[in-house]
Homo-oligomer: A and B are copies of this chain.
Amino acid sequence: MTDTDNSSIPERKRGSGVKMVYDLLRDEILDLVLPPGSPIDEAQLAERFKMSRTPIREALVRLAGEGLIDTLPNRSTMVSNIDFINMNTYFDALVLMYRVTTRLAAQHHRTEDLQVIRARQAEFAAAVQAQDALAMIATNAALHLAIAEAGRNSYFTGLFKRLLDEGRRILRLYYQSYDDRLPQRFVDEHEDMIAAIAARDAEEADRLARVHAEQIVHQIQMLFSRDRRLDIAL
């Protein structure tokens, strides 16, 4: 698994290595390619990327800043665990952000925003049709971020993006539990939300977003209460 051919990229630009390592590790962690608890070895990464430990270290510091890896002083560093204990508090925050961003979108969107939103919705529907779990996660996030953008509050958008990223691992578990048979229902709910936004009905948009979010959260909670094996596996 360590024999990825990187001999084809012998030349790197100064300063690009950190970002490359950071992005790659981040994706691998969030997509559960590196499951929680996986050891992160600096020397190994240094060899793999043909660079010194210094830039590797910088990437790891950034990942640690986002809470994606845990570093015990002078000892090993590993992929951080998914916090199942505080999961409900996370979901509360997620529901709130769903509501707020959708409500603001209904209030402040412009006509051109709707085109972007509908395009994202079409992509999500396509992912659902194709039964591609990873694409569903990505396009769903893109759709809701497009809605958030239409709300014209960059701060909320940033918070929301952060929140979605943090939950990506949980969503990954959720969607893969579906075995890629998937919820057409989400597509319909999205359609209703978009309609409410277009009608500038803030209250209805808020309500629909709440129902939509709580429904997803409820299903995820069902999954984790039904299937305790996941706790052991991680």
Contacts and interface: CB of A to CB of B under 8 A. Distances in A.
Tally of this chain's copies: 2
Nearest to A18: B61
B155 A86 contact: yes
Contacts of A89: 152-156
A-side interface size class: 20 to 34
A95 to B, nearest CB: 11
A181 B176 CA distance: 59
A90 B159 CA distance: 11
A15 B61 contact: no
A66 B65 CA distance: 8
A2 to B, nearest CB: 26
Contact of A54 (B54, B66, B86): B54
Interface in A42-100: 54, 57-58, 61-62, 65-66, 73-74, 86, 89-90, 92-93, 96, 100
Given A54-B54, A89-B152, A92-B156, 9 more contacts: A15-B74, A58-B58, A58-B61, A62-B65, A65-B66, A86-B154, A86-B155, A89-B153, A96-B96
